Structure 1
Amino acid sequence: MINKMNVNVASEFGELEGVIIHTPGLEVEEMTPETAKRALYSDILNLSVAREEYTQLKGVLSKAGLCLEVTDLLAEVLKNGQIRTDLLNEICNQENAENIYQELAELSPDELARQLIQGVPINRNNLSRYLSNERFSLWPLHNFLFTRDASMSFRDEVVIGKMANKVRDREATIMEAIFNHHPLIEAKTLSAQKPGSLPVGKNLSIEGGDFQVAREDVLVIGTGVRTTAAGIDFILETIKEKKEPIRHILVQELPDMPESFIHLDMVFTFLDRDACMVYEPLILGTNRFHTIHIQVENGEVTKISEEKNLPKALRKLGMDLKPIYCGGSKDLWTQEREQWHSGANFFAIAPGQIIGYERNVYTIEELNKQGFEVIKAQAVIDGKAEIPKNGKCVITIAGSELARGGGGARCMTMPFCRKKVDW
């Protein structure tokens, strides 16, 4: 029997104890080239290949800590009659699907969990539905394999995201139900979907791909097409309410294009106490995108100032991180190509022990030059290689298909419990 776990995340790289994932299912294939744009994809994926690759990620994560699946957690939550009723009411009201509430309410918890994620096909049992151009009454959650975005762990709390696109709202609603009601997880939630009386302005959105925990007192947040200034103000206001001695938010502005820059973790991720992965042209290059330091003391903003870049801003706060270049340091074109396929997007299972795509060969070579042992995920899963106890390593997973979905290892993982880092 697994003991109840408290949410606790005070860094991006503390030793992993608990993580939530979602193995891609039929929802990934329920799109066409015509509907892919609405689903926020630039391409359509082959499910069998994507699942095969995802199995490598899950296999490594399962060796590192407790690895939980969204569908299993949701099914468990749906066994409670009142929670089930409340969740269905919220989802059906959000998506103008009140007419299918009763048929959903009659499903078993397992089947209901599956349909809430994979979609509810339209029942063409009247003229309006027969003539409808829609395929679903509730659309599939095509993006749920990227569990990072809908919720964000910070210390003992979970921020429930306000998604930038309505097609993803249900993901946040489901994650909120899991963190509020699953018997295995103890968490306090803060909902950006329902900011209440906090003065955060209009157009609030915040997603986990932009939200990084540098240290217990330092957050790094990207602002661009998925996370707005109002979304960061929501985080700022919640920090102010706590009236703690001193806290810092570093804000990195991101360009609207190309689409591979949708989140901060596509251009910057923490690897260790002393190392980070960067897409050099954006993070370190001379450009017009702001890096801003917000300092909060005892419930008041005491400083807002511009910094040269993220690594320099972190250095001022006592975090001296060596930037390692996505795509290597020699060729701009190679950097661009590998960034496009999530070459800057790594997930740490412990300090200096990270997971990323093997397809980004120049990035992996650069990591190796900086002392990271390269280990294939399948070798770890088969027991032919071991994750070193203390040494640095990069565990490579296949990504020919998954990378086409627009995210990497960090995007596909939602850690809710990590050990404290010995600074």
Structure 2
Amino acid sequence: MGADAVSARRESPGAQGPEPDDARLAVTSEVGSLRTVLLHRPGNELRRLTPRNNDQLLFDGIPWVERAQQEHDTFADVLRERGTEVLLLSDLLAETLAVSGAARIQGISAAVDARRLGHALADELAAFLRGVPARELSELLMTGMTFDELPFGPNTTSLVRRMHHGADFVIDPLPNLLFTRDSSFWVGPRVAITSLALPARSRETSLTDLIYAFHPRFLGVRRAYESHTAPIEGGDVLLLSEGVVAVGVGERTSPAGAEALARSLFDDDLAHTVLVLPIAQTRATMHLDTVCTMVDADAVVMYPAVRDSLCAFTIHKEDDYGGRQGSGRVSMRGPDPFLPAAADAMGIGKLRVIDTGLDGVTAEREQWDDGNNTLALAPGVVVAYERNEMTNARLEDAGIEVLRIPGSELGSGRGGPRCLSCPLSRDDV
């Protein structure tokens, strides 16, 4: 089974050829040379968006799917051209369901909610899905299913089916899978499975979890953090340097989630300092990486409106830390201004800050269009949306190489290149 699965993975579009010689999975910074990354090419789940449901599904508009796919293909090609191995979530999920019966059972169980559908309909649907081929099942789990698309006839004793409209969802679609950053992130050699805050995204982590638990590529990978109660999302987590992690607390990540992550990282000796940054609980600043990302080992691009106001609570692991499930001794201080607190934790004199200048209107527009949401491919090399002309120009003036990609349709869900990517392997800085 393992050999066939690996062979299939190597021949699939998601794998893009054989594994690199250095297949070590570990991430210790935001800017180390990017070796392997997880993306999700937008698919039919985006075709489920309508003016009636796009707000509920967290999109600000109805994307042109074909154009979004073209834009995403351009993004993936830029990464490959710079030597990054690109893995696609849809391929990994299909391969996982093909090799693991346990993954199939768990994926179906997460998608078919008996509390909402009633046991009669849920049992009938689950029985059908158990016989669906892996690739088709993968598509169903991502794209969802309406009552009209149920594969069995309308003659049923299910009151739920009788009372729902045919276009209502039996299995909800997952259009936000596009943003692979949020459902998992890596700290050192371990992966953190997150707890997503909003109902429209809660099932995404069930698919990510299956891949990390059962796909042959990830056998032996250990978990850094798992939480089913305290929300935390990967877009709020920045690895400032080895052992130093920043966590935004706002619309998506709670204080309890940030503290739980800090203590878990301390338990596993993956960090010595965690900076917790309160951010505005608004759509425009849903994650920390919507206002600040790293572009070099000592430099950030930052929304100027928060440059002086962003503060941090510093949680530090004490030398005599016990390491017993969060029971160890920590110190906390703050809030203090973020930039000097971060530089102090990183052991550098000062963080360089690049922003969009003093034109508040331009800065606000480009922050909304993810101008501060860049993906570093190496120290001083970033991918950014082409539309954010002022931010990109200022990055280049500061010596940062900017690889521009189109994002008019990809950005309709409010996410830039960093949101669209989950690094699995980076070189140490």
Instruction: Give the TM-score of the pair, scaled to structure 1.
Output: 0.86
In the alignment, the residues of structure 1 paired with residue 373 and residue 110 of structure 2 have an alpha-carbon distance, to the nearest angstrom, of 33
* CA distance 1:292–1:108, shift in 2 (3 Å): same
- Structure 1 contact 295–302 (Cα < 8 Å) conserved: yes
Deviation at 1:29, TM superposition (A): 2.1
Partner amino acid for 2:408? Answer: S
1:163 equivalent to 2:204? Answer: no
- Structure 2 contact 187–270 (Cα < 8 Å) conserved: no
In the alignment, the residues of structure 1 paired with residue 141 and residue 107 of structure 2 have an alpha-carbon distance, to the nearest angstrom, of 11
> Partner of 2:333 in structure 1?
305
Count of residues in Structure 1 that have an aligned counterpart in Structure 2 = 386
> Partner of 2:73 in structure 1?
55
Deviates more, 1:294-303 or 1:90-99: 90-99
In the alignment, the residues of structure 2 paired with residue 270 and residue 245 of structure 1 have an alpha-carbon distance, to the nearest angstrom, of 20
Query: What secondary structure is seen at the aligned counterpart in 2 of 1:260?
Result: coil
Deviation at 1:149, TM superposition (A): 0.4
> Partner of 2:28 in structure 1?
10
> Partner of 1:73 in structure 2?
92
- Structure 2 contact 50–62 (Cα < 8 Å) conserved: yes
- Structure 2 contact 185–191 (Cα < 8 Å) conserved: yes
> Partner of 2:416 in structure 1?
408
Q: 1:292 aligns with which of 303, 307, 313?
A: 313
- Structure 2 contact 311–338 (Cα < 8 Å) conserved: no
In the alignment, the residues of structure 1 paired with residue 399 and residue 259 of structure 2 have an alpha-carbon distance, to the nearest angstrom, of 38
Query: What secondary structure is seen at the aligned counterpart in 2 of 1:306?
Result: strand
> Partner of 2:108 in structure 1?
88
- Structure 2 contact 111–171 (Cα < 8 Å) conserved: no
In the alignment, the residues of structure 2 paired with residue 159 and residue 43 of structure 1 have an alpha-carbon distance, to the nearest angstrom, of 30
Which structure 2 residue ranges, 5 or more long, are not aligned? 1-17, 323-327
In the alignment, the residues of structure 2 paired with residue 403 and residue 104 of structure 1 have an alpha-carbon distance, to the nearest angstrom, of 33
Q: 1:146 aligns with which of 142, 156, 179?
A: 179
1:355 equivalent to 2:383? Answer: yes
Q: 1:277 aligns with which of 278, 294, 301?
A: 301
Identical pairs, percent: 31
Query: What secondary structure is seen at the aligned counterpart in 1 of 2:41?
Result: coil
> Partner of 2:164 in structure 1?
132
Instruction: Give the TM-score of the pair, scaled to structure 2.
Output: 0.85
> Partner of 1:108 in structure 2?
133
Partner amino acid for 1:205? Answer: P
Partner amino acid for 2:243? Answer: D
- Structure 2 contact 375–382 (Cα < 8 Å) conserved: yes
In the alignment, the residues of structure 1 paired with residue 38 and residue 171 of structure 2 have an alpha-carbon distance, to the nearest angstrom, of 23
In the alignment, the residues of structure 2 paired with residue 265 and residue 90 of structure 1 have an alpha-carbon distance, to the nearest angstrom, of 29
- Structure 1 contact 279–339 (Cα < 8 Å) conserved: yes
- Structure 1 contact 192–234 (Cα < 8 Å) conserved: no
Deviation digits for residues 203-256 of structure 1 (CA, Å, limit 9, x no counterpart): 6100000011112210011000100011112212213423x4970001111111
Partner amino acid for 2:352? Answer: K
- Structure 2 contact 36–85 (Cα < 8 Å) conserved: yes
Partner amino acid for 1:69? Answer: L
Deviation digits for residues 61-118 of structure 1 (CA, Å, limit 9, x no counterpart): 2223110010100011101223312332243358745331111111110000111001
- Structure 1 contact 179–189 (Cα < 8 Å) conserved: no
Alignment of 1:328-407 (within 5 A): 328-372=356-400, 393-407=401-415
> Partner of 2:291 in structure 1?
267
Deviation digits for residues 21-40 of structure 1 (CA, Å, limit 9, x no counterpart): 00101111212112111101
State the superposition RMSD in angstroms.
2.0
Partner amino acid for 1:118? Answer: T
Partner amino acid for 1:89? Answer: S
- Structure 2 contact 380–399 (Cα < 8 Å) conserved: no
Which structure 1 residue ranges, 5 or more long, are not aligned? 195-202, 373-392
* CA distance 1:191–1:303, shift in 2 (3 Å): closer
In the alignment, the residues of structure 2 paired with residue 41 and residue 90 of structure 1 have an alpha-carbon distance, to the nearest angstrom, of 23
> Partner of 1:173 in structure 2?
206
Partner amino acid for 2:275? Answer: L
* CA distance 1:32–1:245, shift in 2 (3 Å): closer
